[in-house]
A and B are shown apart, each in its own frame.
Chain A
Amino acid sequence: MNSLINAFQRCSLEFKDFDAIILIRGGGSVADLAIFNDYELAKTMALMPIPVFTGIGHTRDETVADCVASMSFKTPSEVAKFILDRALDFDSKIDNLKQRILHKVEAFLNTEISKNQSLQERFKLAVRNSGEKLSQKMNLIVSEIHNGILKKVHSEKEFLFSLKQNLHKKTNYILKTKEVEITNLSNRVKMKMRENITKGNFTIKSYKEKLFTKLKNTLALKNIEIERLREKLHLLSPENILKRGYSITYLNGKVLKNSQEASIGAKVQIQLYKGKIYGQVINKEEDYGEPKLF
């Protein structure tokens, strides 16, 4: 009896952990039902914060406990049946709710997914389109730049080529001009040198000629002098004098130059050009003035 009340009180202390309290009895006599009519028990049961189900006995054996209980059943199996039905009901309700939630969520998700997908598709398309457009634009720009660069390079090449040609032409022109100048200079130098050499040769020749003329003249003068001397000597030579008819008279081996020196009768020798005559002085004439032949 007290153990029942204690159990109820313990349950009421921890009622949050329980849904309901079941009070059942496994058969017996009517006398055994007396405790279920107790006031204290009935009060405790009535004051319980959670429902109390009873399954104590048959309908004719209804107790106070059955009366204060939230619901009373004839047998424990009926209680069990009731609870199971309730649980089943609840379960099916929850299942239904679960299904509905699932459906809702699924539908929501599906719509969201489809929305998302379409957005994604649109985004993809847009991205692809813009990418393509961008790449086309880029390609265009790149090809333009490429063309521009090629053009620039080509024009630079042409410019360089023309510069090169110009340089070549100018260099050739300068080289040719310089060559002509050098040739002219060299010709002038050659001419001048030839002129100088000719002049020098001429000078040398003239000097040579002068020298030889001088020497020849000197030699000729000497010859003339010698000739003059020879002539003089010839003229003065005794043979020449004798040849012209003159003769030399010797008196005592001495040349007789004055008739005063020879006395009458003296013997004289007369030298002729050819031969000698020996003679005697027969007569003589004396001359005191200047020697005069005739």
Chain B
Amino acid sequence: MENLSYSKAIEEIEEILKYIESQEVDVDVLVEKVKRATELIRFCKSKLKTAEEELHKTLIELEGSNLTEEEPF
């Protein structure tokens, strides 16, 4: 789970959903799949959150460095 990429995770989620949507689903497998998908979604959400936080941090850093370069004269 740790070394999984976001796109791979999304891919797996889509696959699981496709699988669940098909008629032949064993409930036990279904439970497992749903559990896996939920974990994957949590993972993706946390990744997105981290990305957003990183973005904000970068933004704040940029604003700060911008202020010092404002007046060259």
CA distance in complex: A193, B14 (Å): 54
A236 B21 Cβ-Cβ under 8 A: yes
CA distance in complex: A193, B62 (Å): 22
B72 A226 Cβ-Cβ under 8 A: no
A222 B48 Cβ-Cβ under 8 A: yes
CA distance in complex: A233, B13 (Å): 9
- Chain B positions 22-58 with a Cβ under 8 Å from a chain A Cβ: 23, 26-27, 30-31, 34, 37-38, 41, 44-45, 48, 51-52, 55
Number of A-B contacts (CB under 8 A): 64
What is the size, in residues, of chain A's interface with B at 8 Å between Cβ atoms?
27
CA distance in complex: A233, B31 (Å): 11
Task: Provide the A2-17 mask, 1 if CB < 8 A to any CB of B, else 0.
Answer: 0000000000000000
What is the size, in residues, of chain B's interface with A at 8 Å between Cβ atoms?
30
Q: Is B1 an interface residue (CB 8 A)?
A: no
CA distance in complex: A233, B34 (Å): 7
What chain A residues lie within 8 Å of B16 (beta carbons)?
A: 233
B73 A194 Cβ-Cβ under 8 A: yes
Q: Is A171 an interface residue (CB 8 A)?
A: no
| Nearest opposing residue in chain B for A250, CB measure | B27
What chain A residues lie within 8 Å of B73 (beta carbons)?
A: 190, 193-194
| Nearest opposing residue in chain A for B56, CB measure | A212
Q: Is A44 an interface residue (CB 8 A)?
A: no
Name the distance in Å between B4's Cβ and chain A's nearest Cβ.
Answer: 14
CA distance in complex: A187, B16 (Å): 68
Q: Is A67 an interface residue (CB 8 A)?
A: no
Q: Is A208 an interface residue (CB 8 A)?
A: yes
Q: Measuring CB to CB, which residues of chain A are less than 8 angstroms from any residue of chain B?
A: 190, 193-194, 197, 201, 204-205, 208, 212, 215-216, 219, 222-223, 225-226, 229-230, 232-233, 236-238, 248, 255, 257, 271
